[in-house]
């Protein structure tokens, strides 16, 4: 136990009030900046949809105005993306009907040579 304390000499009296104040203030500032960022980006979509509605209102387009700002849910976006992806992947269904025959060549190797096997069999007898 003594050796552990020697290696890790924890001394809580080293922590002064200025250190605690710095830690608490620092943590609070991180929270504050994120809180403001969260607040800002909660308001921005509402402002954007209000702005779009106002534009459609000026144009007199009631249908578009009613739909404006209704964000598409992620599941719907995913379904649309999947449909587009599948459609694009299926485009190769119309084949060009050109067949290519590639020559299959066997490279020579003495390891699989029939001649060597036949000739050498006699030598070992």
Partner 1 sequence: MDGLMQLYGYSGFANATPGHLLMILVGMVFIYIAIRFEYQPILLVPIGFGILIGNTPFIEHGGMALGIYQDGSVLNYLYQGVLKGIFPPLIFLGIGAMTDFSPLISNPKLILLGAAAQLGIFMTYLGAISLGFTNTESASIGIIGGADGPTAIFLSSRLAPHLVGSIAIAAYTYMALVPLIQPPIMRLLTTQKERRIKMKPPRSVTKIEKVIFPVFGLLLTGFIAPGSLPLLGMLFLGNLLKESMVTKRLADTAKNAMIDIVTIILGVTIGASTQATTFLTHSSVLIFILGATAFMFSTAGGILFAKFMNLFLSEENKINPLIGAAGVAAVPESARVAQLEGLKADPTNHLIVHAMAPNVAGTIGSAIAAGIMMSFLL
Binding site for partner 1 (CB under 8 A): 7-12, 14-15, 19-20, 22-27, 29-42, 44-45, 48, 71-77
Shortest Cβ 82–partner 1 spacing (Å) = 14
**How many residues are there in the chain?**
125
Q: Which is nearer to partner 1, 22 or 82 (CB)?
A: 22
Instruction: List Cβ neighbours of 70 (8 Å cut-off, separation of 6 or more).
Output: 49
Q: Give min distance, CB of 108 to partner 1, in A.
A: 37
Nearest distance in Å: CB 111, partner 1: 33
Least distance to partner 1 from the beta carbon of 56, Å?
Answer: 16
Instruction: Closer to partner 1 by CB, 71 or 119: give it.
Output: 71
Tell me the C-alpha to C-alpha distance, in Å, between residue 88 and each of 78, 83, 91: 15, 9, 5
Concatenating the DSSP letter of every residue in 77-121 gives HHHHHHHHHHHHHGGGGS----------PPPP-GGG-HHHHHHHH
> Residue 71: which residues within 8 A CB-CB, separation 6 or more?
45
Nearer to partner 1 among residue 30 and residue 119 (C-beta) = 30
**CB closer to partner 1, 47 vs 116:** 47
Token pair belonging to 8: 């890790």
């Amino acid at each position: 136990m003594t050796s552990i304390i020697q290696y890790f000499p924890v001394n809580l009296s080293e922590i002064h009030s200025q250190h605690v104040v710095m830690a608490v203030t620092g943590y609070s500032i991180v929270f504050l900046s994120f809180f403001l960022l969260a607040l800002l980006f909660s308001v921005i979509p509402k402002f954007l949809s209000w702005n779009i509605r106002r534009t459609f209102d000026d144009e007199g387009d009631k249908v578009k105005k009613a739909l404006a700002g209704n964000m598409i849910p992620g599941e719907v976006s995913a379904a649309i993306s999947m449909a587009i992806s599948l459609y694009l992947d299926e485009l190769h269904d119309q084949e060009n009907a050109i067949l290519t025959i590639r020559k299959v060549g066997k490279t020579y190797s003495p390891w699989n040579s029939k001649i060597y096997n036949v000739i050498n069999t006699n030598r070992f007898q």
